[in-house]
Structure 1
């Protein structure tokens, strides 16, 4: 589980770098973006490898009811993420839709994966997203909401269905059926 934990620390550290030490991050300019991108890819690899190798106590297993709830929450998470990019109407009420999507994603995965490695991975990413929202709310005032055309709502809905379908297909390909 050390590899998983290391991946979480790297992920969180790189995301908070700009907030904790803006001058050191700014000094690197565009080169810093490459460092962050490479570090984030490495952190994801560490989390995936660490999660797949981790063992721990199982508190509950997957049930049909929790699987259904998980899938509904995942559709919501994908919509929130797409809504952030399209700046849809939900951004009027949800200030940080991408981070809210991460929190919904994490909770949905804990519901169907009740084991220690899942608590560490999904709980850790939930904690990161929550901390990120708190920091962002302190350092940046909310941007004013602007009405968007219906086309943006449709774009977000289509992106949600496409992303959910691709993600489900990848899960099935990896041997984890999200529907059963």
Structure 2
């Protein structure tokens, strides 16, 4: 569990570094960018290692219907994440689509995982995403981008469906069954 907690702490620190210490981050130039990238990757690696090694301590047993809610929320999370890259009509509808997607992802996974390591991982990521939005909103104004053509949103829906299938396939490859059967 210690690796999981250290990984989460490193992830949060690396992501918040440019928001909390912008002058220092600017002074560091490319070295600062590299440091943040290494911190994020190391944090991710520690979280994965810590999650895989954590002892299973069940706090609750999720109901079977939660899997269906999880899958629906995950489809929404993939779509919302994709909104950050769209140039269609949905562009600018949401200020923080990637962080909102992380929040949806975290809640979805908390619904279907009742063990302590999952609460630490997904709860920690949820807290980080909320904190990140607060810090960003306080530190900078937002210029809402102009919406683009609707056909770009159709592309977003198509990419969302493909990515959802890919993500589900990766889960099955890893031995996690995202669809009850």
Task: State the TM-score, normalized to the length of structure 2.
Answer: 0.93
The answer to whether structure 1 residue 24 and structure 2 residue 27 are counterparts is no
Partner residue in 1 for 2:111: 111
Mark the runs of 5 or more structure 2 residues left unpaired by the alignment. none
Task: Report the secondary structure of 1:55's partner residue.
Answer: coil
Q: 1:111 to 1:58 in 2, by over 3 A?
A: same
With over 3 angstroms needed to count, the CA separation of the structure-2 counterparts of 1:109 and 1:145, relative to structure 1, is: same
Deviates more, 1:5-14 or 1:143-152: 143-152
Of 144-153 and 14-23, more deviation after overlay is shown by: 144-153
Query: Retained in 2: the 8 A contact 1:91–1:97?
Result: no
Equivalent position SS for 2:83 = helix
Alignment of 1:120-139 (within 5 A): 120-139=120-139
* Residue aligning to 2:141: 141
Task: Give, in whole Å, the separation in 2 of the partners of 1:62 and 1:143.
Answer: 41
Distance 2:170 2:35 in 1: 28
Matches of 2:144 and 2:73 in 1, distance apart?
27
Distance in 1 of aligned mates of 2:114 and 2:30: 41
Does residue 173 of the first structure (1) align with residue 173 of the second (2)? yes
Aligned residues: 180
TM-score by length of 1: 0.93
Unaligned runs of 5+ in 1: none
5 Å matches for 1:32-51? 32-51=32-51
Residue 121 of structure 1: CA displacement? Answer: 0.3
CA distance in 1, matches of 2:87, 2:122: 26
Q: Secondary structure of the residue that 2:37 maps to in structure 1?
A: helix
- Between the aligned partners of 1:64 and 1:90, the Cα distance in structure 2 is 34
Task: Please identify which structure carries the higher helix content.
Answer: 1
In the alignment, is the contact (CA less than 8 A) between 2:87 and 2:149 conserved in 1? no
